[in-house]
Structure 1
């Protein structure tokens, strides 16, 4: 049986020119991997789009979903190659969209261009193929390690290592024909934040506040944000809480004022869930 490979660009589909990483729309890791390892695996490759993933738009997610809607009954699995900068976000979206798929779906990429002998691109692709050949049904993210796609968190700035969070308590259903016309704002807490500078346009239908590691936020400052949200009829969500941990007084007070508390969810998964919710 065949393995579908969906190319979307990123470092794994790039080359280095005069010290600068540039996208190469003709790069095809599947064919390069087959030649390198003398494999007879049948890859069905589609070059869906070729971008550096920091430039991803909602249209790209819609294109990916359209490709994933196709009939894969004759396939053993699907590999999606992707840039590492937003890999954890696309992983969250795909984990929701493909949650009922009966074949493995794997997202992967590379830390360096494939011509660099220290790149992890080939080893990541090898692991992705092994997951599919072992029929590990689910949605996975491979980048040095194997992560469940609904728990993977963006890579550390300095080590380039991805992290894993809690498994979500609930999973939203996603329409197979969804389009993303409405927006979700993400705001990250930091000391001395002034929410007076925040304004929402009419297409913003939810606001996700990424709290501190204890699932907390400056409740006095958030009062201003909550007031702005209520003026626009925008629900406000606070991410970062853990069902196994104590609820802090500040978070409890915010909940009593109307803030929705999000438990056991990475920022990426919470964002993907809200984006799907406000566009369904």
Structure 2
């Protein structure tokens, strides 16, 4: 059976009527699509809606497909800066109308959390409250589909909602909106035997930044399939090169292995403990503002919404 987006409005009202007891809820459906089709245009729509209505509501819940939820959460966190109110993303592994669906519980949890004092973009899923730009999907089949591998959770949900305020963002700066994303970013997954020469044409494609997903703490091959010439050519052309890890947990450290050290000497920089989704979306945000690779590198390591450690 093929999964397709459902009639959300009627499903919520008919199958989860108790959500009306949690809050006074207005529903808006700006688009209804498989989340694999959600991209820059949809991020901008959500930023615009939440930004325009920030003063009208105490919190926001965005129901989103799980496949790209972490990307959208990162995009919102980098655009809705210095939040004072919760912006919550949730969804389900099984549709609401299905037997044993997790949609009902996730929706109730998300709406309840959205009534609380959480000044962040967060993912509420599988009885966990996670910082949006620290969350990543790690399971296709588990009801606990999202984890925050390198940052503690913001809360957990059982008989009660327990929030961990020491893990939340606190900022005295006023709320502001930073619009814009660029598609001039390329992510490349490095695997044993991958031939970097196949990707050399990308160096002349107008790409501003590359995210290379390497091994372990940012290691790369050093043999005849070395990626160092690719990095050298990219940086020589004024393109920024960042190294992430194929592993979820831990921090990229380009001082740890010889291959990573060579990459750093060639001009690559590691993404520290950022998720791949957050790193990629942050580059899309920065490349919408800056053309200079030095500026992109500089501001990549400037924390915007708790996405990166010092």
What range describes the TM-score normalised by the shorter chain of this pair?
0.7 to 0.9
Normalized against structure 1, the TM-score is what? 0.81
Q: CA, structure 1 residues 279+219, in 2 after alignment: closer, same or farther (shift >3 Å)?
A: farther
Any gaps of 5 or more consecutive residues in structure 1? Answer: 1-18, 169-173
CA distance in 1 between counterparts of 2:50 and 2:38 reads 17
Q: Deviations over 1:143-181 (max 9, x none)?
A: 20221112111232454622222249xxxxx98363334
Task: Give the secondary structure class of the aligned counterpart of 1:263.
Answer: coil
Higher strand share: 1
Q: Deviations over 1:26-58 (max 9, x none)?
A: 545553465255626211111011110111222
User: Higher mean Cα deviation, 190-199 or 32-41?
Assistant: 32-41
Q: CA, structure 1 residues 43+163, in 2 after alignment: closer, same or farther (shift >3 Å)?
A: same
Alignment correspondent of 2:78: 96
Would you say the 8 A contact 1:154–1:163 is kept in 2?
Answer: yes
Q: 1:211 aligns with which of 206, 210, 214?
A: 214
How many residues are matched? 257
Task: Give the secondary structure class of the aligned counterpart of 1:180.
Answer: coil
Q: 1:31 aligns with which of 13, 24, 42?
A: 13
The alignment status of 1:184 with 2:185, answered yes or no, reads yes
Alignment correspondent of 2:286: 277
**TM-superposed deviation, 1:103:** 0.6
Would you say the 8 A contact 1:219–1:251 is kept in 2?
Answer: no
Would you say the 8 A contact 1:181–1:203 is kept in 2?
Answer: no
User: Higher mean Cα deviation, 116-125 or 29-38?
Assistant: 29-38
Normalized against structure 2, the TM-score is what? 0.74
CA distance in 2 between counterparts of 1:156 and 1:40 reads 29
User: Higher mean Cα deviation, 66-75 or 221-230?
Assistant: 221-230
Q: 2:55 aligns with which of 63, 73, 82?
A: 73
